Chain A
Amino acid sequence: MDTIIQQLFNAAQLGAVYALIALGYSMVYGIIRLINFAHGDIFMVGGFVGLLLTTRLGWLPFYLLMPLAMILTALAGVAVERVAYRRLRNAQRMSVVITTLGVGIFLENFVRLTVGPETRQIPARLPSAPVHWLQQNLGAFVTWDKLLIILISLALMAILWLVVNRTLIGTAMRAVADNKDVVPLMGVNLNLIITVTFAIGSALAAAGGIFYGQAYSIDPYMGIDLGWKAFIAAVIGGIGSIEGAVLGSFLLAGVEVITVAYLSSNLKNGIAFGLLILLLLVWPWGIMGKPTLKKV
């Protein structure tokens, strides 16, 4: 029975990483109604930036290294938007979606050629000793790095919530999300808002990539599977909603871990996604999503 608490921590760590990716999908969709399929690969790039910084600039303390990797990855995300998506902003929806897929394939192969195809791990920079309090009081064997990954991720999500809901730029973002055609007429710089959104989304994905590379491992193709999972989590939560992306991510991770723990690891994806399909049948807009009606 003592393993149930440990399983909850496993789910929380996985869910935290899903959420850091899912937020980027959700925010970009919220602002310009674009599903950026290259976002999973931005997460992968973030992991590799973290790996390079950790191995090349080993003397940097973690609390500086992580923001630096987030900033560099944010620049990559902004560059992708500037170079590949901006010209297509008024193009057909399908052209843009294909472009995002193309950018993803480019990033995968770019990293594969420059860094190599091998599975790697980011050298551990967080302490990996077990947390005594949890072991003694709950009988759960949880290491400090796992606890810290969960806590830092939650802190980043809290900061994001504050930025979106309590700052001027956040207000502008919400306004653009509400009506992208009228708001720029009120003096809001649309390009700036979109750039900021891509930067924040990419920075969060980079944090996810660094955590993932420490807790599990990274390779140039990891963004495909994890990107899909996070995208699905964002849809479940209600794409466009920040709270929804977080909720959907923890829900997906929870269902996955519980299926393995109490049913069968063979059924992990089958049951997890079966349940999610059912959920979407009940709530077609996702848990926190708002039903939108389109005038024809």
Chain B
Amino acid sequence: MRLRYLALLPLLVLAACKPTAQELKIGVSAPTTGSISATGQSAKNAIALVQDEINAGGGVKVGDKQVKVRFIIEDDEDKPESAATVFQKLINQDKVLAIVGSYTSKCSNAGAPIAEAAGIPVVSPWSTNPNVTKGRKFIFRACFIDPFQGKVVAQFATGKLKAKTAAVVYDVASDYNKGIAEVFRDEFTKMGGKIVGFETYNTKDTDFSAQLTKIKGSNPDVLFLPNYFNEVPLQLQQARKLGLNAVVLGADGWDNPELVKLGGKVMDGAYFSNHYSPDVDAPVAKTFIAKYTTRFGIVPDAAAALTYDSANLILKAVATAGKADSKAIRDALAATTGFPGVTGSITYGGSGDPVKGAVVIKVENGKFVFDSAVNP
């Protein structure tokens, strides 16, 4: 009985060996499981959208023929060691031409050196830590960097909120959180403010009450929590339960619907800097938001919008290069000027970091509402 199925084996082998030269492979390293799997889900959605859009038109134009595009999504679990494995697998096993990813800066910092050494161009959608692209020729990003973001938040605190004193609680074990906390501290001090508390914790800590109680003693005007959306609501809840009533500020790591799902009312009245707001007017953005919302039934967050931009940046570079060659794609990427992204216009002026503006978003009744835009 069972032997009968053996007859199917040659078919399977044929299926596995179907010619792949006709398709162009691009890798994606995203945290589809783990503590920030919600961000990985946004990435998957945006990639599905890009893949269907490009293949509906026959694929990307390489030289004189159209080639279909296949994105290979691998899970890096938001762990640096997994990101390194994923990058290696995508490059050596899947032989991808380019990579979208990774998402958190600590993961990008683990994957980027591997891609750099292999000469595979990378566009990270969401990694804002400066070190990700620093000194590397093949690594690009679609987002602004933390020195700019930290300044935006400090300006907002001293300007609109007229804050004189600020306190920070951040994850010292994560590159992103640490980098932006330090920039904010320096910028806020430069603008005449005073940092009255600068406290740390470690990734996966869940009790922040000792740090927050200490900060409560110095009674700051604003509390800056440059941490990820899965932790911030718990930190803020604990702060409120300890009687710490400062206005709370955050950064782009907050941008996910989970923030208000987990935090509820406690998040109301908080502000954070972000890459884009679904309330923007640009036509590219409007089309993207409409398509995404219809297909997935949820408004795209910044990670989704930046993934969409990153993947399209690569596809455009392939078309410009005119050949399926990683080095040529890298050169075309580096020469990108005025790319009309959902999150704003992207130009690489000699580095992998685009010069882009930021927006400040306010949380109101569980919704993210556009507050103001800041340009560099």
Contact = CB atoms under 8 A, between A and B. Distances in A.
Given A118-B35, A119-B262, A266-B200, A222 B206 contact: yes
Nearest 9 Cβ contacts at the A-B interface:
A141-B243, A260-B210, A216-B206, A10-B209, A3-B217, A257-B210, A265-B199, A265-B200, A119-B230
Contacts of A268: 201, 210
B213 interface: yes
Nearest to B211: A265
Interface in A115-145: 117-121, 128, 130, 141, 143, 145
B210 A10 contact: yes
A222 B258 CA distance: 19
Contacts of B38: 118
Contacts of A260: 199, 210-211, 214
B208 to A, nearest CB: 8
A262 to B, nearest CB: 8
A265 B211 CA distance: 7
Contact of B213 (A10, A145, A266): A10
A260 B33 CA distance: 32
B291 interface: no
B210 A7 contact: yes
A39 to B, nearest CB: 18
Contacts of A217: 206, 234
A7 B213 CA distance: 7
A189 interface: no
B290 interface: no
B325 interface: no
A130 B238 CA distance: 13
Most chain A CB neighbours (cut-off 10 Å) among B210, B241, B262: B210
Contact of A119 (B199, B211, B234): B234
A225 interface: yes
Contacts, number: 79
A17 B337 CA distance: 56
A130 B216 CA distance: 15
B371 interface: no
Contact of A6 (B172, B216, B234): B216
Contact of B242 (A11, A120, A141, A145): A141
B33 A3 contact: no
Given A6-B216, A260-B199, A121 B204 contact: no
Given A10-B210, A119-B234, A143 B200 contact: no
A6 B209 CA distance: 9
A265 B201 contact: yes
Interface string B196-207: 000111101011
A269 interface: yes
Contacts of A265: 199-201, 210-211, 214
B34 A117 contact: yes
B301 to A, nearest CB: 16
A117 B33 contact: yes
B336 interface: no
B88 interface: no
Contacts of A261: 210, 213-214
A291 B291 CA distance: 71
Nearest to B172: A266
A219 interface: yes
B214 A3 contact: yes
Nearest to B205: A225
A118 B231 CA distance: 11
Interface string B11-34: 000000000000000000000011
B37 interface: yes
A225 B203 CA distance: 11
B262 A121 contact: yes
Contacts of B216: 3, 6, 141
Nearest to A143: B241
Interface string A1-42: 011001100110110000000000000000000000000000
A108 interface: no
A14 B211 CA distance: 14
A38 B202 CA distance: 23
24 contacts: A3-B217, A6-B213, A6-B242, A10-B207, A10-B209, A10-B213, A11-B210, A14-B209, A117-B33, A118-B37, A141-B216, A141-B243, A146-B241, A212-B206, A216-B206, A216-B207, A216-B238, A221-B204, A257-B209, A260-B214, A261-B213, A265-B199, A265-B210, A265-B211
